[in-house]
Every structure is written in C-alpha cells, then in structure tokens.
Amino acid sequence: MRKRVNAASDKNDISILALDDDPVMTLTLQAYFQNAGYTVDTANDPEAAVELVRSGGYDILLLDFLMTPICGDQVVEQIRKFDKELFIILLTGHKSMAPPIRTIRALDIQGYYEKSDRFDQLELLVESCVKSIRQMRIIRSQNEELTEANLKLNESYLELIRVLRLTVDARDIYTRGHSDRVSYYAEHIARAMNKDEEYCSRVRIAGLFHDLGKLNVPDSVLLKDSSLTGEEYALIKTHPAKGSEMLSSVSVFKDMAVIVRSHHERWDGKGYPDGLKGEEIPEEARIIAVADAFDAMTSTRRYRASRSLEYAKSEIIRGRGTQFDSNVADTFLKLLDNYDSMSAELEWTHDDAMQRGKDNG
C-alpha cells in the first residue's frame, strides 16, 4: 500500500457519505478516509441515504451497487432529481456486476470501483473528484465576486442617473418630475410594442436623460415667463445635441446619446437638430417624442396652465404621420384609455422613489 499523508487541514472541508447495506464495509471506508483527512458519514439504508444527501450537503458519495431494497443506480437516479453536483463513485463486488456504461453516463456517475482489501485505486478516484470539486468552488467564488461587483457597478450607475435627473429637475419647479413621467410613458409604450427588456431599459433611461442638455441653457432663457425671441429659441433647440454630447462622454450611456439627440426630430423631417425624417429617426427617439409632447401638454408650465387629457389626445391624433410616428402615436393612444390607472401608478412610483431617496440621503 502506498504511503498516505494525513492531510486533515487540506481535506477536512470535503465531506463524504459512504453507503453500503453491509455495516462492516461502511465502517471500513469511514476509518480509511477519515485517516486520510476527510469528513466521512455512513449509511446502510439506501432510502434513508437519499434523504441524508438531500439535507447533508455532501461532496462525494461512495455507494454499493447491489443493495436492498433498492440498488445503487436507483439511489443515484433519485438523487440526480435534486442534486446535479454531487460526485458519485459506484462500488461493485465484481466488474461484471457493474451497470452498463450508458447507465453510468446517463446518471453522471464519476467512476466505479471493484471492491478489494486495498483502497488505493478508490482513493485515487476520490482525489480526482476532490480536484474537480475545488475547481468548481473557485469558479463559483469568482462568479459570486463578479456578481457582487456587477451589482455595485449597477448601483453606482443608477445613482448617477438619479443625480443627473435631479440636477435637471432642480432648474425649474414647473418641470420638476417631467423626466420621470416621460421615462414612465416611454417605457410603457415600448412594452406595449412588445420590445425586449434591453430595449425597454434603454428607452426608460433615455427618457430620464432626454432634457439633460438644458443644463447648458442659461436660466434667463430656460426660466423666462414671456415669449422667447428667435435667438433664445435657438438656444433652447441646442439642448438635444448638448445632451447627446454629454452622454457620449460616458461609455455606459453612449447607446442613449443618439436617442437623446433625436427626440425633437419629426416624422415629416421638420424637427431638429438634424432634420431627420421617418425611419431615419431612431425608434426609441420617436417613442420619447410622443411621451415628451404628451407630458408637456398635460403639465403646468410657467407660461400656461396644463391642458386636458382630451386636448392632448386630439393633438397626438392631429400629429400622426407629421410630427409623430403613427404606430407609436396609436400605441400610446390605446394606453391612454387606461390613463387613470397609469396616472395613479406613476404617482405611487414617484412618491416611492422620493421616499427611497430620503431614506438613502
């Protein structure tokens, strides 16, 4: 027998369950592998052993093939229904008594051992399993670390969005909450158009950022109560391009930059800043254009009172095929049939977000 080193400090984190209906065999296996440094439990009832595996968190199962009332392959079949990671080594009294190789493969049994009075070969099989177990643990640990890092990155990402959004809203009490509402409406339009989750997320965030470029517009223009001069209106019209430039400088927001730049383009080509027409305009921007126009009409501004729901709907209908993409406009008009429930949900979402902001601040 080859010399074995007691390496409890290296192996005692590996747990083994030895299953055989012969108590002498399980006690022998336990003594041998405990002496090698492993943690070893024993079982002599196959059906009870299944429950032990279910609750015991074992790494390796050593089990006899021929047992009563059920054989080893039946034990493995039951275990594989709830545990795909357990390493299993089948013990047989003779090689000819082992199950067919196709059964071993189907049940994902890592190997089988022909019983003898020497356990050298079995120990080599166990050590091979241990190497794989340790590699799996390293991979799992790395995946958990990556997941945690991604969560932290996402939290920072969302916090940056919140800060930028609140910065825009803080400029004018009359437009406070506008970006939240545009984002909400735009996301609902995208979902009603059966867009995937990534698309809907992009629309939601672009909606929050659509007026970011107004940070570059002087307060004397942005907060003016009276009509704008031609020069002042030209300054206002720079905000989509300015917002796009700001987002382009942050890698995680680059996908939103072109959407923000195009949210004041018109279907008939008479919009700004690039005079895009029809499907030249990114679809996400066409969605935000409808949401933005609706909220602008139904919100109180310093130069006028809010418009009614019916007025806003009639304006969207009038703008189909000229100002707005007809498909987007029609989708939103259908959603507005449930405007009361949307409005209630939007109010709750806004209040909840404000409260969470206070809790975190």
Find tokens 């991979």 and name the residue.
139
Find tokens 């545009």 and name the residue.
182
Q: Mean pLDDT throughout 17-28?
A: 92
Mean pLDDT of the chain: 83
pLDDT band with cut points at 50, 70 and 90 for residue 343: confident
- Share of residues in the chain with pLDDT > 70 (%): 85
Neighbours of 16 (CB within 10 A): 25
Q: Which domain holds residue 264?
A: 170-360
pLDDT at 55: 87
Q: Any idea of the CA torsion for 164, 166, 169, 170, to the nearest 10 degrees?
A: -110
At 184, which CATH number?
Answer: 1.10.3210.10
Q: Is residue 161 part of a domain?
A: no
Q: Is residue 146 part of a domain?
A: no
Q: How far apart are CA 325 and CA 351, in angstroms?
A: 32
Q: Is residue 89 part of a domain?
A: yes
Find tokens 């022998």 and name the residue.
28
Q: Is residue 334 part of a domain?
A: yes
The tokens of 309 are what? 């729901």
The tokens of 63 are what? 């089990």
Shared domain check, 227 and 104: no
Shared domain check, 189 and 233: yes
Shared domain check, 20 and 110: yes
Domain count along the chain: 2
pLDDT digits (tens, 9 = 90+) for 107-129: 788 877 888 878 888 998 899 89
pTM as predicted: 0.56
Q: Which of 87, 122, 141 is the last residue of a domain?
A: 141
At 102, which CATH number?
Answer: 3.40.50.2300
pLDDT digits (tens, 9 = 90+) for 184-201: 999 999 999 999 999 999
Q: Is residue 339 part of a domain?
A: yes
Query: What are the angstrom distances between the C-alpha of 205 and each of 161, 209, 237?
Result: 8, 6, 21
- Non-local CB neighbours of 59 within 8 Å, separated by 6+ positions: 14, 15, 16, 86, 87, 129, 130, 133
Neighbours of 318 (CB within 10 A): 12
pLDDT at 359: 39
Query: What are the angstrom distances between the C-alpha of 341 and each of 21, 286, 315, 334, 336?
Result: 65, 24, 22, 13, 9
pLDDT digits (tens, 9 = 90+) for 149-177: 777 776 776 677 677 767 766 665 556 68
Q: Which of 3, 11, 115, 214 is catalytic?
A: 214
Shared domain check, 218 and 87: no
Q: Is residue 348 part of a domain?
A: yes
> Is-contact 228 194, C-beta < 8 A?
no
pLDDT at 303: 67
214 assigned to active site:
yes
Shared domain check, 333 and 246: yes
Neighbours of 141 (CB within 10 A): 10
pLDDT digits (tens, 9 = 90+) for 236-288: 899 999 989 988 877 778 888 999 999 999 999 999 999 999 999 999 999 99
Q: CA nearest 270: which of 328, 323, 231? A: 323
Q: Is residue 319 part of a domain?
A: yes
Shared domain check, 325 and 264: yes
Shared domain check, 97 and 31: yes
Shared domain check, 14 and 97: yes
Shared domain check, 15 and 121: yes
Shared domain check, 129 and 174: no
pLDDT digits (tens, 9 = 90+) for 62-112: 988 888 888 888 899 899 999 888 999 988 876 666 667 777 777 788 877
Shared domain check, 311 and 203: yes
Q: CA nearest 220: which of 212, 231, 210? A: 231
pLDDT digits (tens, 9 = 90+) for 278-301: 999 999 999 999 999 999 998 877
Q: Is residue 103 part of a domain?
A: yes
Name the residue with higher pLDDT: 148 or 38: 38
Shared domain check, 57 and 181: no
Q: How far apart are CA 71 and CA 233, in angstroms?
A: 84
